[in-house]
């Protein structure tokens, strides 16, 4: 059900034309002069429009107020009276006149030009009000703490990094006291380039140190990913499908969104566009680009709208430098050797890279993306051994592959696994895997992994 609307105008009949569009399906309270009754589509509100007592009897709830008064000073007084009587109600004020004005928000009163579509403005204002409630919930979850740590996945991607940066600004915290932390490393060249271009850092911390960092806000990830009980989880903000039960004082998991960066940008914009600096806009835009593959993967209307808002505010020279990092020759050689042995069988392209230095882990995801472009490939998987762990990245053309759920079911108990239906990752502790799958060398290891994936239906044509 749509939230009710309070309309206050010095010419109430101006709203009559909107009853079948912007006001359709809403309960409408219409201010009327004492001697006049409201039309059939509204209930009358009588009294001095400048006095807060006039509106005191209205139920607050999710009510929205619209002020349409020609005299701007009086419009301000009416809006202020409504705010005193209904402090939780957002107020939309229409600026009349021939002079074009840009929309602006001051003291939770949003001014729009008379020519703007009222229906769109109402929907946007209600969305902003909901976003402010989310920010309030996030702040309450911190229980008065003026610092926290933003915990991201083991090899954080641009979506996680950008989202954490935006949330830190939203909460008015600084990097020194509220760091972005990971129990792994940032390995992919473009992600390291992103941090360098933005002059930001992601700190590596051992799991045992998490309890010393204060409240944790998990960004673009959920507690089950870590396979341990995390201390003091204040909040979880993520767009991935739930991966199991977890406890958090505040949670915002929206699986319809294509990127956590869209969610974080909505939090940020409750502070107004002044908070959206050029570096932040660049980071958030890149987060949406990478997680939605330039909007080609399933996205929401909110992703599209946020992309449109961020695009003109981003630094595209920086974005190009981030998207085209440099590669070491040995990395390119490894690419070549892997591709020489790659094959596509029944729509499934699987490449095992063998043992690699730990600082080369990023090529697993990059090669998985590349292999999806091989002729006949519908699902790709690339794995490599880094120290005592096997790291795997998978990609798919269609959401029916359900990669995140399948990898989590297959590999979750051996380490961490999960992701999206068309893009997922697993980190497998080989010591745990070997207890159930005997192997003596990398070739046999590859065989056990391939057999397990085939049995789980990963890559099988449907």
CA distance 29 to 26: 10
With tokens 């974080």, the residue in question is 264
Per-residue HEC secondary structure of 151-210 comes to ECCCCCCHHHHHHHHHHHHHCCCCCCCCCEEECCCCCCHHHHHHHHHHCCCCEECCHHHH
Tokens standing for 107?
């003291």
Q: Which of 417, 422, 425 is nearest to 399 (CA)?
A: 422
Q: What DSSP assignment string belongs to 329-374? A: HHHHHHHHHHHHH--EETTEEEEEEEE--GGGTHHHHHHHHHHTTS
3-state secondary structure of 130: helix
Element (H or E) spanning 322, and its range?
helix 316-323
CA distance 128 to 134: 10
- What is residue 339's predicted lDDT score, i.e. its pLDDT? 78
CA distance 15 to 39: 11
Where do the domains of the chain lie, and which CATH numbers do they carry?
5-130 (3.40.50.720), 142-322 (3.90.1640.10), 329-455 (3.10.310.30)
Q: Are 67 and 79 in contact (CB under 8 A)?
A: yes
Sign of the alpha-carbon torsion through 44, 47, 49, 51: negative
- What is residue 324's predicted lDDT score, i.e. its pLDDT? 79
Element (H or E) spanning 309, and its range?
helix 301-310
- What is residue 377's predicted lDDT score, i.e. its pLDDT? 93
- Model pTM greater than 0.75? no
Burial of 59 (0-12, 13-18, 19+ CB in 10 A): exposed
Q: What share of the chain is helix, strand, coil (3-state, %, to 5)?
A: 40, 20, 40
**pLDDT string in tens for the chain (462-residue length):** 678 889 999 988 888 877 766 677 788 999 999 888 999 889 999 999 999 999 998 876 678 899 999 998 999 999 999 999 998 888 888 887 655 454 555 666 788 777 666 667 777 777 887 898 899 999 999 999 999 999 999 999 999 999 999 999 999 999 999 999 999 999 888 899 999 999 999 999 998 899 999 999 999 999 999 988 999 999 999 999 888 899 999 999 999 999 999 999 999 999 888 999 999 999 999 999 999 988 888 889 999 999 999 999 999 999 999 987 666 777 677 778 777 878 888 899 999 988 888 777 888 988 898 899 899 999 999 999 999 999 999 999 988 899 999 999 999 999 988 888 889 999 999 999 999 999 999 899 999 999 999 888 887 665
Strand pairing category for 389-396 and 379-386: antiparallel
Tokens standing for 3?
């939230």
Burial of 262 (0-12, 13-18, 19+ CB in 10 A): buried
Residue 176 CA to its chain's centroid (Å): 24
Q: Find the length of the chain.
A: 462
CA distance 189 to 81: 55
- What is residue 293's predicted lDDT score, i.e. its pLDDT? 84
- 118-141 and 158-170 helices, crossing angle to 10°: 90
Backbone angles phi and psi of 150, in degrees to 5: -95, 105
> H-type helices in 412-441, by residue range?
430-436
- 118-141 and 260-268 helices, crossing angle to 10°: 90
Tokens standing for 402?
């359900």
Compute how many other C-beta atoms are within 10 angstroms of the C-beta atom of residue 48.
12
Residue 185 CA to its chain's centroid (Å): 21
CA distance 21 to 29: 16
């Amino acid at each position: 059900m749509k939230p009710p609307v309070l309309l206050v105008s010095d010419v109430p009949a101006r709203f009559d034309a909107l009853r079948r569009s912007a006001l359709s399906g809403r309960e409408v309270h219409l201010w009327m002069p004492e001697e006049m009754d409201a039309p059939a589509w509204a209930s009358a509100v009588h009294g001095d429009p400048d006095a807060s007592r006039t509106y005191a009897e209205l139920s607050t709830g999710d009510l929205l107020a619209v002020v349409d008064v020609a005299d701007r000073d009086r419009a301000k007084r009416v809006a202020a009276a409504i705010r005193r009587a209904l402090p939780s109600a957002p107020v939309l004020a229409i600026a009349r006149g021939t002079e074009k004005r840009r929309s602006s928000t001051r003291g939770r009163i949003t001014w729009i030009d008379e020519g703007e579509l009222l229906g769109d403005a109402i929907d946007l204002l209600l969305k902003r009000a909901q976003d402010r409630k989310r920010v309030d919930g996030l702040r309450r979850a911190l229980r008065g703490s003026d610092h926290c740590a933003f915990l991201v996945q083991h090899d954080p991607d641009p979506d996680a990094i950008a989202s954490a940066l935006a949330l830190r600004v939203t909460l008015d915290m600084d990097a020194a006291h509220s760091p972005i932390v990971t129990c792994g490393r940032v390995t992919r060249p473009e992600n390291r380039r992103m941090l360098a271009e933005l002059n930001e850092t992601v700190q590596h911390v051992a799991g045992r140190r998490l309890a010393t960092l204060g409240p944790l806000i998990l960004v673009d990830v959920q507690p089950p990913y870590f396979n341990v009980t995390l201390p003091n989880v204040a909040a979880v903000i993520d767009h991935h499908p739930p991966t199991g039960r977890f406890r958090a004082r505040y949670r915002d998991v929206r699986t319809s969104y294509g990127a956590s960066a869209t969610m974080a940008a909505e939090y940020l914009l409750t502070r107004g566009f002044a908070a959206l600096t050029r570096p932040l806009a660049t980071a958030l835009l890149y987060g949406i680009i990478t997680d939605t593959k330039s909007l080609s993967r399933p996205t929401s209307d909110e992703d599209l709208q946020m992309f449109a808002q961020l695009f003109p505010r981003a630094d595209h020279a920086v974005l190009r430098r981030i998207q085209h990092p440099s590669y070491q020759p040995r990395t390119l050689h490894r690419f070549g050797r892997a591709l020489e042995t790659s094959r596509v069988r029944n729509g499934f392209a699987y490449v095992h890279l063998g043992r690699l230095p730990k600082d080369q882990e990023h090529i697993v995801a990059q090669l998985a993306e590349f292999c999806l472009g091989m002729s006949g490939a519908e699902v790709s998987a690339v794995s490599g051994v880094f120290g005592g762990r096997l790291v795997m990245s998978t990609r798919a053309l269609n959401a029916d592959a359900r990669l995140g759920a399948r990898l989590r079911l297959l590999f979750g108990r051996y380490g961490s696994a999960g992701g999206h239906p068309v893009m997922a990752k697993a980190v497998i502790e080989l010591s745990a895997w070997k207890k159930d799958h005997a192997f003596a060398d990398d070739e046999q290891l590859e065989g056990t992994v391939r057999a397990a994936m085939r049995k789980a239906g990963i890559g099988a044509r449907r």
